[in-house]
Amino acid sequence: MTQVIRSGAFLQQCWSVHPLCVSVKRMTDERVVVLSCSSCKSAHYLTVATVSSKASSAQQIAGNDSLQEEPSGEEFFKACVSTHRASLTLREMDVFQDLVRLRCADCRRQYELSIAAFETRY
């Protein structure tokens, strides 16, 4: 039987003990981001409320002259997860504010996810 814990503290503890073992596995149609840890064999399910996306400073400088409308953070994130999921890393999290920050090494974007619910399954 799978043990389910509904707290962001377990993800925070897992990531602080072995940060290189936590990876993004997928994003479901129900706006749930699934992270897994290869060390403790746990799966962390993050129900996403909002996603904001920020380009790297080099991308911002290069794109200053364009006035075209940019896609939403969620659209960027979905595309990033589907095309280069292995390059996404957990960079920062705050369980008091229910925030998780991810960064993609390929597209060099940072994603800030506001989390509605945390679940850890062993």
Question: SS3 letters for 25-45?
Answer: EEECCCCEEEEEECCCCCEEE
Where are the chain's structural domains? 4-121
Quote the pLDDT of residue 55: 86
pTM: 0.86
Q: What is the pLDDT of residues 40-95, one digit of tens each?
A: 999 999 999 999 999 876 555 555 545 455 678 899 999 999 999 999 999 999 99
